[in-house]
Amino acid sequence: MIDYSNAPTTGFLRIPQILKLIPVSRSTWWAGVREGRYPASVKLGPRITAWRAEDIRKLIDQSR
């Protein structure tokens, strides 16, 4: 079982952090974002994409 207690409660998470919490591949994650299964990303800069920690925690809580 994955330990979710270290996941931040606020702020932003980048994809490497998310994939440590949610055991899927990078391509599966992006496909899920496009299909609406996973939360939408937030652009923080031209080459920086992140997700709200609150949205990721909510996704984790829903999947338990």
CB atoms near residue 61 (< 10 Å):
9
Alpha-carbon distance of 9 to 5, in angstroms, equals 9
DSSP one-letter code for 51: E
Tell me what pLDDT residue 5 has.
Answer: 73
Position 1 pLDDT exceeds 60: no
Alpha-carbon distance of 47 to 9, in angstroms, equals 24
Banded model confidence at residue 61, pLDDT cuts 50, 70, 90: confident
Stretch (H or E) spanning 48? strand 48-52
- Count of H helices and E strands in the chain? 3, 3
Tell me what pLDDT residue 12 has.
Answer: 96
